[in-house]
Amino acid sequence: MGDHRAGHRADGGGAHAGAEERRLTTREVAERLGVKPETVYAYVSRGQLSSRRDASGRGSTFDPREVEALLRRNRRETAFGGETAIRTGITLISKDRYYYRGVDATALAERYTYEEVADWLWTGRLRRGTRFTAPHDALIAALRAVGSLPAHAGPADRLRVAAIAAAAADPLRFDLAPQAVLGTARGLIPTLVDALPAAGPLPREDGGGTLPRRLWSRLTAQTPDAASLRALETALVLLIDHDLAASTLAVRVAASARSHPYAVVTAGLGVVESPLHGAASGLAHRMLTEVLERGSAGAVVADHLRGGRRVPGLGHRLYKGPDPRATALFARLEQVPGAADALAAAREVEATTARHVPLHANVDLALAVLSVSARMPPEAGETVFAVARTAGWIAHALEEYGERPMRMRPSGEYSGPTPPQPLP
């Protein structure tokens, strides 16, 4: 037979040249791409595939050439520092603002609770009155595990152990269906909070109080006023997600390998205690404490620079102007009577440094104002950061579970000795 043009086939026994290649069913496309059928429709909604109703009108069919082109693009995608970015519909950072699913994150922090915004990131729906509850068995397991740690254990240690213990208590943890993952998330976050050792009297009202109230009692013995609790909740909302930060990238790698949600969160917690990431607010806390003790920011800033250290809490590579998270949290802290001195110290640090270098306060400095003014330990900001970011990690895991498995597998660029080498 003669040659056939690309995109057509030769049917043995009389098919004519130019006959359209058989279209693929949804299940066939899913198998070819290595994804779930619902992910195929996600590709359609993103405009990456086009579909057509089949003859019965009950299903969809797809052009095999489009499917092959998408498969080739997926195979070329590089997830670690390459030119192709990881697709995400969760957070956009643009022009010194950031947005959760297209909505200004600082505006969400003004009007909604942490749990409501977390659910917005997971489902795309904002529902007033959303509350998370810790499952009894998971909480008991987490409390016992955290209680066995030495007194000097850090917040990331406690949260990791709590997540691992909660996972061991959940026989359904390997169910990665979206609704199952959502159920896990809504139980895991309060479990992490309630498993932390108390620093002061635990709230009794309303079944133990709101999530920020319960977290507050784990961070300080100081009794909170309404403005302080609102500042803590604002911080939690502002920190839920920040695109593909280091811990979030670790989470997406784990989710790409189909780790369950508890393991995904544990992967994030393994990165978050870095002094360059979630623990950065502790450095700013200690600096502000020293400024308040010495009565001036100038000498403290000078000591940092003399020692070859950066001044904590200043600058962010994603924002040329002020960090919008710091701006929003500072505005909330202005309503907290006990935060006035720490706020003044933070602004003096920023103004002193800005004489030569145009750096703005970042969210770590704002977190430090919260922790210093509420007499929390230096590590409190790290705890707030990790609890808040857990919701963002779950959002990224949900998104990654819908992608091709194991796509986060870069190839190493070997730079060792030329093989073969003799045995040592």
Which uninterrupted H or E stretch holds 24?
strand 24-25
Look up residue 319 and give its DSSP letter: B
Question: What is the full DSSP assignment across 189-217?
Answer: HHHHHHTSPPSSPPP-GGGT--HHHHHHH
Report the pLDDT averaged over residues 133-152. Answer: 97
pLDDT band, very low/low/confident/very high, at 282 (cuts 50, 70, 90): very high
Model confidence band, residue 56 (pLDDT cutoffs 50, 70, 90): confident
Q: CB-based contacts of 65: which residues, under 8 Å, 6+ apart? A: 7, 21
* Percentage of the chain lying above the pLDDT 90 cut: 71
Provide the pLDDT for residue 58.
Answer: 79
Beta-ladder partners of 52: 61
So what's the pLDDT on residue 6?
37
Where does the pLDDT of residue 78 fall: very low under 50, low under 70, confident under 90, or very high at 90 and above?
very low
Cis, peptide link before residue 358, omega less than 30° from 0 = no
> What Å distances lie between residue 225 and 20, 196, 366, 400, CA to CA?
70, 21, 18, 40
What is the pLDDT confidence band of residue 75, given thresholds at 50, 70 and 90?
low
Residue 180 has pLDDT above 80, yes or no: yes
Q: Are 373 and 339 spatial neighbours (Cβ–Cβ below 8 Å)?
A: yes
For residue 107, the one-letter residue type is A
Q: Within a 10 A sphere around the Cβ of 152, how many other Cβ atoms?
A: 6
**Distance from chain centroid for Cα 307:** 33
pLDDT-above-70 percentage for the chain: 92
Strand-pairing partners, residue 94, are 97
Q: What is the pLDDT of residue 206?
A: 45
**Averaged pLDDT of the chain:** 89
Q: How confident is the model at residue 279 (pLDDT cuts 50, 70, 90)?
A: confident
Res. 12 pLDDT band, cuts 50 70 90: very low
Distance (Å, whole) CA 289 – CA 229: 21
What does pTM read for this prediction? 0.81
Greater pLDDT, 197 or 36: 197
Helix, strand, coil proportions of the chain in percent (round to 5)?
Answer: 55, 5, 40
Distance from C-alpha of 296 to C-alpha of 291, rounded to nearest angstrom: 5
pLDDT at residue 409, as a whole number:
81
* Model pLDDT, residue 304: 92
Give the contacts of 397 (CB within 8 A, at least 6 positions apart). 181, 251, 252, 254, 255, 261, 264
Mean pLDDT, range 288-316, rounded to an integer: 94
Tokens of 348: 């003096």
Higher pLDDT among residues 163 and 17, named by residue: 163
- What is the model's pLDDT at position 20? 58
Which CA distances in Å does 7 have to 15, 23, 68, 241?
A: 14, 11, 11, 44
Q: Is the pLDDT of residue 7 over 50?
A: no
pLDDT of amino acid 283 = 95
List, in sequence order, every beta strand (DSSP E) within 108-186.
Answer: none
Is the Cβ–Cβ distance between 67 and 56 less than 8 Å?
no
pLDDT tens-digit series, residues 86-110: 889 999 999 999 999 999 999 999 9
Answer yes or no: is pLDDT of 81 > 70.
Answer: no
Question: Which whole number is the average pLDDT over 263-267?
Answer: 98
